Every structure is written in C-alpha cells, then in structure tokens.
Amino acid sequence: MFSIITIAITGVLLLYLGFLKNRWIYISVAITGLITALALSVFSWNSLETSFSNMLIIDNYAIAFNSVMIFATILIFLLAPHYFKGIEKNVPEIYALLMFSLAGACMVTSFDNLTMLFIGIETMSIPLYILAGSKKFSIRSNEASFKYFIFSSLATAIFLLGITLVYGMVGSFHVGDISNYFTITKEIPSILKVGIVLLVISFGFKIAAVPFHFWAPDVYEGSPTLITAFMATVVKIAGFAAFYKLLSTCFILVPDSWHHLILGLSVLSLIIGNLAAIKQKDVKRMLAYSSISHTGFMLFAILSFNSFSASSLLYYSFAYALSTIAAFGVLMVVKNHMSADGSVQAFEGLAKKNPILAIVMTISMLSMAGIPITAGFFAKYYIFVSAIQGGWLWIVIIGILAALVGVAYYLKLIIAMFAKTSETEKIVTSPLYITSLLVATVLILIAGVLPNLIISLI
C-alpha cells in the first residue's frame, strides 16, 4: 500500500520539479522514489495487508509482481535521460504519467474487489493514451494514441459489462463472495457464463492475445520507443497478473467454461504471433509480434492451474521484462542514430560499431528465443512443466514448435549484427544508459543460471 502511495506522490512531485528545468533533478527524484517504493514493497513481504475496507489485498503474489514491475520501470527510467536528450518540452510530464500508470499497475495486481480492478486498469491505461501520443508532431504517434484509446476503451466497456453480469448474478463485487457463490451454487446460470466470457475478452484486449491483438503492432510501432518498452513490459505483466488472479480466485470452480477460450487464445497467439513476426521488416513491429507470441506462452500458466503455475508466470514475466527492456534499449539508440529507421538493416554491423550493444542485443534475443543459460530458457521450461502437470501435453508440443519458429526471426537480427558490415560511424551512449542495459543483461544470465531464486518465491 505504501509503495503505491510513494509512486503516486513521486508522480505529483515530478510535475512540480519540472518547473526547475533541470533534467538531472527530476530523473534522480524519479529513481529515488521508485527505489523507495521497491524497498517498501519488498520489506512488506509475508505481511498480508488489506486496505480500503478490503478493496486491496497485498499478499506475496501481489508483492512479487509489483516488485518486478517497479524494477522494470527503474530500468526504463535509467534509459530515459539519453532518450530524451535534446528534448526539453514536457519531459517531466512524461515521467509523471509513467509514474501514475505504474501506480495503477500496482493496484491491478493486488485487487480484492472487481471495482478496484476496474479503477486500477483505468489508472493504468489513461496515462498511456497520452504517452502513446507524446511525440506530438509525429503522425504515427498520433495514430498510435488514437488507436490505443479506441481499442482500450472498447475493452473497458466490455469489461464493465462483464462485471455487471457477474454482479447481477452473484450480488457482490468481492472476490471472496464470488468464489463462495460457485461453491454453493451447482447450476450456473448462462448469463453468468456470458459475463465470464466478456471478462476474458476484455483481458484478451489488454494483454494483446490473438484475435484481440490488432491494435498491438500499430500502437507499439507508433509510440515513442521508451513508452513502447513500458507498455510491452509493465502493462502486460500487470494485465497477466490480474488475469491470473481473477480466474484463479473467482472463477476456478466454474466447470468447463473459460478453459476453451484460454486454449484458443493461447494457440492462436502462438501461431499467428510467430508467423507474422517472421514477415516483419521493422524491428519494432517484429518485437510487437514476438510480444504477442509471448502472450501465448504466458497463457499456459493460466490454462493449467496448480501450485506451480503462479511462480512460473512470475518467472516468465521477469525474464520477459528484462529481455524486452534490453532489446528496446538497444533499438532506441540504433534507431536514433540511423535517423528514425528501425529496420533490420539498421542493425547491420552493430558488432563493429558498438560491441557492448551488440552483445546486449544478442543475449536478449537468445533469452526471448529460449536458448539455455539465459532466463528465457527456464521461463519456457517452467511454463511447459506447469502445463504438462495440468495435463496439456499437446499444447506444449505446439508451444515448442512455435518456439522453434521464433528462433528464426530472433537469429535474423543476430546474423545482421555480426555477419554483415556497414560503413557508418560508432554509436555513442551515456554511462547511465549502458548501466541499465548491462544490469538487465547480467540479470538475464543470473536468473538463467540460478532460476530457484525466483521460482521458489510464491
């Protein structure tokens, strides 16, 4: 609870510090605030806390996901000063909005009441509509903002209708009451099932699962890359944590209703996400489709509820966040350097121009593809184990095939960096920027070697 308050107050503080017009003051305040929030979050481990008359429940599950999200945001903020170099206007506002969005994301993971879930999702999404369009004079950024707004508000409307139908049948917004209802009632009215389907659809929008993924490539491509990194990591993890918690606490006892939906979403995301990613020329679009295929993998955890699936989802989120931030971090400099061209050709010869960036990118791509000794390997391994324990062997086979297809397009980038050469000058970055990328890379390797550190948490 206090970590959410710290994040929100830091956001307000940043708005005022913007008037000082000194970018080092507000970036240091932002990072201090985030580190404080992370510490407050970690130190409340094992102390179950409910607040706002049982609207929020901060248990170990919520703390683990919140810590991952806050940590990812710290890495993104470390990238920010270099990304916004030369841009003076409205930068503190962008930082503040990122903070508010993070506060919403932390609320989403720790809801104990469906109205709180709704408020959290809105607090998370509304700043993002603005952030997606924060490159004010770029037409693609405006398109991204508008598209995200339309799709997201449609998803919100569907979500509200779903909550309404559930409330109409159960008579309570409270998570405990909803799960009690299913232990008492044997014959579930069809209108309640419609409500559950609507909730699943709206979450499908939020986490960009096929067939509700159409907004994702355009929005990811059009938004400023820093914001895309935030959207692809924090927002997606928050969506998954909430989705998992909603289905596992409220609707786990509903027989044979939403399992088929999740199965369909997962298989379609794996196939379409990977096949579409192969065809992409623009790296940002490719990462967007790869993020859709990762959605497919993460849905395995929701498909197979057992004692293992929550921790495998946490581990996957952590590995995915680190490799995505590293990949987008490298993309940001390459893109700025090569004058707004984010195609695979821009990466040619990166190993000569800046070996550190090339190594960071390689490790993050290997982690996304799931090659051993990176975190991505154990992420996929655990999520497959959890699915096999749940009795979904055939979907694991599809998952492995999809992962093999994925290797193709991740390797395309690595080959471009190492095997090809080009005639351009060196790429320079700031020390803070490199620190963030190296921290992410080292953590990918540490988490890949010692997966027990995270997998045994929850």
Partner 1 sequence: MICAKVYTPIDYLPIMIQSFVVLGFVVTTMIATHMLGPKRNTKQKLENFECGIEGMGNARSPFSVKYFVIAILFVLFDVEVIFLYPWAVNFKELGIQGFVGVVSFSALLLSGFGYLMLKGAFDWEK
Specify the residue, 189 or 211, whose C-beta has the smaller distance to partner 1: 189
The stretch among 102-110, 164-172, 389-397, 435-443 that binds partner 1 (CB under 8 A) is 164-172
Q: Would you tell me the crossing angle of helices 236-245 and 114-132 to the nearest 10 degrees?
A: 170
Per the structure block, which two tokens stand in for 337?
């350097």
Q: Is 16 in the site for partner 1 (CB under 8 A)?
A: yes
Question: Pick from 100, 159, 181, 392: which binds partner 1 (CB under 8 A)?
Answer: 181
The distance of closest approach from Cβ of residue 237 to partner 1 in the complex, given in angstroms and rounded to an integer, is 27
Distance CA 340, CA 404 (A): 31
Question: Pick from 166, 170, 310, 322: which binds partner 1 (CB under 8 A)?
Answer: 170
Q: Is 43 in the site for partner 1 (CB under 8 A)?
A: no
3-state secondary structure of 6: helix
Per the structure block, which two tokens stand in for 68?
């991952």
Distance CA 364, CA 328 (A): 10
Is the alpha carbon torsion for 445, 236, 309, 119 positive or negative? positive
Neighbouring CB atoms inside 10 A of 307's CB total 9
Residues near 81 by beta carbon (within 8 Å), at least 6 away in sequence: 23, 24, 27, 430, 432, 433
Residues in binding contact with partner 1, number by CB under 8 A = 16
Question: Pick from 45, 171, 281, 428: which binds partner 1 (CB under 8 A)?
Answer: 171
Question: Pick from 124, 169, 235, 444: which binds partner 1 (CB under 8 A)?
Answer: 169
The distance of closest approach from Cβ of residue 238 to partner 1 in the complex, given in angstroms and rounded to an integer, is 22
Specify the residue, 116 or 288, whose C-beta has the smaller distance to partner 1: 116
In 231-282, alpha helices (H):
236-245, 258-279
Per the structure block, which two tokens stand in for 409?
């397009």
Residues in contact with partner 1, shown as a per-residue x/- string from 343 to 362 under the rule CB under 8 A: --------------------
Specify the residue, 184 or 340, whose C-beta has the smaller distance to partner 1: 184
Residue type, 15: L
Question: Pick from 88, 164, 189, 391: which binds partner 1 (CB under 8 A)?
Answer: 189
- List the one residue out of 394, 392, 403, 73 whose CA is nearest residue 238: 73
The stretch among 43-51, 163-171, 263-271, 441-449 that binds partner 1 (CB under 8 A) is 163-171
Q: Is 19 in the site for partner 1 (CB under 8 A)?
A: yes
Per the structure block, which two tokens stand in for 394?
């055939």
Q: Is 15 in the site for partner 1 (CB under 8 A)?
A: yes
Interacting residues with partner 1 (CB under 8 A) = 12, 15-16, 19, 168-172, 174, 177, 180-181, 184, 189, 191
